[in-house]
Structure 1
Amino acid sequence: MTETARRWIQRPEHSNWGDFGPDDQLGRLNLLTPAKVLEGVSEVRTGRNFCLSLPLDCPGGVALNVRRHPPQVSPTMRGDKPNMTYPLSRDKPGLLDVICDDTVHMALQYSTQWDSLAHMGQWFDLSGTGKPEMAFYNGYRAGEDVIGPIDFRHGEEHLVTRAPGAYRLGIENMAASGVQGRGVMIDLKRQFGTQKIAIGYRELQAAMAAQGVVVEKGDMVCLRTGTDEALLAMAGQPDMDWLNAHFAALDGRDPELQQWIVDSGVVALIADNAAVEMLPARPAATHFHASHPLHDLCLFRLGVYLGELWLLSPLADWLAANGRNRFLLTAPPLRLPRAVGSPVSPVATV
């Protein structure tokens, strides 16, 4: 056993920690093998592409998440002058060039996004001593592998001098893997309309059976609810009362659904809504529980990636009209070291 393998003595229920090696930081992305990429490529018949990203200033405002603000784009500076439509002839007469160059300040998970495996962890007794620690996928630790500017681990808050970020499990690992393979669409709007409904295992299987959907190990599953269409129609001013009263989302507390995710071998769950799972979740049966049970299962235990606020409706409609539900999905995030999430501009090729 290597030193890194001793990060944990026991692993959580329904987890695959260690199955891909003691130092693994990819989780089920390990299942996106060359053979799975070829399966995705085999679904390309027309060469038509679909952009699966919302505009990155959508949904607008901070109604969906008060901690995430819309992107602010501004020019870089050339001395004390903005470097936007800047004529180089100003500096050297005779030059014909006009320069535009800009920068952006944004929350990485404001709009269409990937969650990395460092996005959400749990308190868990890694050592088997009865003392839980703040941990992440494959036993990586808060304060050592994933670091915030404040250390909350020992009951007192201490400032941290090391730069914050995910030194393990960061989004750059996902980017370096390529993230390309077979996507599979399950159209929940087509099955259930726009009513608010928690999708457990039985509802999901009903939709899959009605649409002839088969999910196999290594697939990336997309869940169309229609939330994307509503957000675009709201044009930057999301009506949260209306949104909260409509649309399907996965029931993260459903044990049968959880078991299906464990058994299916899916690499990612992707939705056009804000969390993939319905929040707030149904009341838990135990005092100690995860507020985001699907995030707990997927990110913390299984290394299954979550994609949120994707633009899925145009693709879903085209697939339904053409009697299909599979496609080639290409969706690498930004290769941004230590980030815990990333905007993404996915492409589906049919």
Structure 2
Amino acid sequence: MSFVPAQTTRPNGGKSDENFRYDKNAKSFPTRKELPQVEGTPPGAAWFWGPDDYIGRLNLLTDERIKAASKFIKSGTLVPLNLPLDMPLVPAFGREPFEHEIKTLVPGMSYDDKYKLNTQSGTQFDGFRHFAHLPSQTFYNGTKEADIVGPNANLKCSIHHWAEHGIAGRGVFLDYWAYAKAQGTTYDPFDHYAIPHSELVACGKAQGIDIRPESQGGDILPGDILLIRSGWKETYDTKKPEERKVAALREEVPGPHDGQRWAGISQEEANVDWIHDCYFAAVGGDSVTFEAWPSLKEDYYLHEYLLACWGVPNGEMWDLERLSEACKEQNQFIFFLTSSPNNCHYGVSTHANAMAII
């Protein structure tokens, strides 16, 4: 993927308009192929919520959509989606393990907690400061490294913007791990495995969901929150502690020879188009990386599109085991979902603090 600024165009052609903005209440939006390109932005960027926008597609979580999503609460079953803060005990990508200490205020009477943690371990969302469009080293909506660290650091793309808005909406769950096992497909989520778009389509069909956007005749609505189970948590539970440690400490090497190797959805164009055109408010999964890691066939990562180009929160290491059981038992894979981002000024990412209500 190369950084080649393009002229500003309207989605349907016509006159250039550098002030073009999305209406968050619209019923449909430009497809990826129709995206207007604005001079000075990365190819494929969709920064059309305003110059000071730092919540991206969370803009789609409007009052109307949240109210409509609440109608998918049928049984009222609560399903927490968060791993323990100390899981995995040895985090991947060189991240610090969780540390917990109890502070005594008054012996026998009062105690506090002291946490030391990396928000990228445990169930979390990548924030927009986490991963740039690599060729241009640009983060969402024109944010640069100097905005994040150094003497001129400011609040552009700070995670507190998410906290002030909140996250709640219609969750859509694709239990790919269960589908793959039913089809006799075997793979190790602790190694590279790229889930193709065709398999996600088939998985959705098996669950009674047409995963195309509503504008193309499918069941996905703007502002939906996508969750995909790829089997990481179930596999983690079957591995011995030393096996988990060895996998987490594999050598990090930028590019296709990276020793960090994890299952997730493929970077193929069909998946890029699908995620964009569905206008998900956020995506997430049980995998360490959501997308297959590393990217082997493409010269880009989905992280670039999701975080830097489109402003889509990217969730990783969500606990989807109980959700899998509950959705299967109730034959319901669409539900109400909430998440409470950490209200941290200058923050990069956040624990998800997420709950499904079926």
Cα distance change on mapping 1:135 and 1:103 into 2, 3 Å: same
Cα distance change on mapping 1:248 and 1:141 into 2, 3 Å: closer
Aligned to 1:335: 343
- Aligned residues of 1:187 and 1:207 also touching (Cα < 8 A): yes
Give the Cα separation in 2 of the matches to 1:110 and 1:85: 32
Aligned to 1:71: 98
Give the Cα separation in 2 of the matches to 1:60 and 1:251: 27
Aligned to 1:205: 201
Give the 5 Å matches for 1:93-104. Answer: 98-104=109-115
Give the 5 Å matches for 1:63-142. Answer: 64-66=92-94, 68-76=95-103, 83=104, 86-87=107-108, 98-123=109-134, 132=136, 134-142=137-145
Q: Deviations over 1:151-176 (max 9, x none)?
A: xxxxxxxxx445x6x62111111111
Aligned to 1:191: 179
Deviation, structure 1 residue 13: 2.4
> Could you tell me which amino acid in structure 1 is paired with residue 161 of structure 2?
N
Aligned to 1:258: 272
2:40 is aligned with 1:10 = yes
Aligned to 2:233: 228
Aligned to 2:288: 274
Q: Which runs of 4+ in 1 moved over 4 A?
A: 233-238, 240-248
Aligned to 2:314: 306
Percent sequence identity is 27
| Local SS of the residue matching 2:145 | coil
> Could you tell me which amino acid in structure 1 is paired with residue 266 of structure 2?
D
TM-score by length of 2: 0.76
Deviation, structure 1 residue 40: 2.0
- Aligned residues of 1:59 and 1:232 also touching (Cα < 8 A): no
Give the 5 Å matches for 1:213-224. Answer: 213=209, 214-224=219-229
Larger radius of gyration: 1
Number of aligned residue pairs: 296
> Could you tell me which amino acid in structure 1 is paired with residue 142 of structure 2?
G
Q: Deviations over 1:13-61 (max 9, x none)?
A: 22211x1112111110000111221122111111210110011101112
Deviation, structure 1 residue 242: 7.7
Give the Cα separation in 2 of the matches to 1:241 and 1:74: 26
> Could you tell me which amino acid in structure 2 is paired with residue 347 of structure 1?
M
Deviation, structure 1 residue 239: 2.8
Give the Cα separation in 2 of the matches to 1:328 and 1:123: 34
Give the Cα separation in 1 of the matches to 2:50 and 2:278: 20
> Could you tell me which amino acid in structure 1 is paired with residue 197 of structure 2?
Y
- Aligned residues of 2:262 and 2:288 also touching (Cα < 8 A): no
Deviation, structure 1 residue 137: 0.8
More strand by share: 1
2:307 is aligned with 1:296 = no
Give the 5 Å matches for 1:51-70. Answer: 51-62=80-91, 64-66=92-94, 68-70=95-97
Cα distance change on mapping 1:247 and 1:341 into 2, 3 Å: closer
Cα distance change on mapping 1:74 and 1:84 into 2, 3 Å: farther
Name the stretch that deviates more: 193-202 or 106-115: 193-202
Cα distance change on mapping 1:226 and 1:338 into 2, 3 Å: same
Quote the RMSD (CA, aligned, Å): 2.5
Deviation, structure 1 residue 111: 0.8
Give the Cα separation in 1 of the matches to 2:63 and 2:126: 23
Q: Deviations over 1:188-242 (max 9, x none)?
A: 0121125244112212111111211232211000001221123244476553678
Cα distance change on mapping 1:11 and 1:106 into 2, 3 Å: same
- Aligned residues of 2:282 and 2:313 also touching (Cα < 8 A): yes
Give the Cα separation in 2 of the matches to 1:35 and 1:237: 49
Unaligned runs of 5+ in 2: 1-17, 20-37, 210-218, 249-258
Give the Cα separation in 2 of the matches to 1:111 and 1:65: 13
> Could you tell me which amino acid in structure 2 is paired with residue 306 of structure 1?
N
Give the Cα separation in 1 of the matches to 2:291 and 2:134: 21
TM-score by length of 1: 0.78
Cα distance change on mapping 1:117 and 1:245 into 2, 3 Å: closer
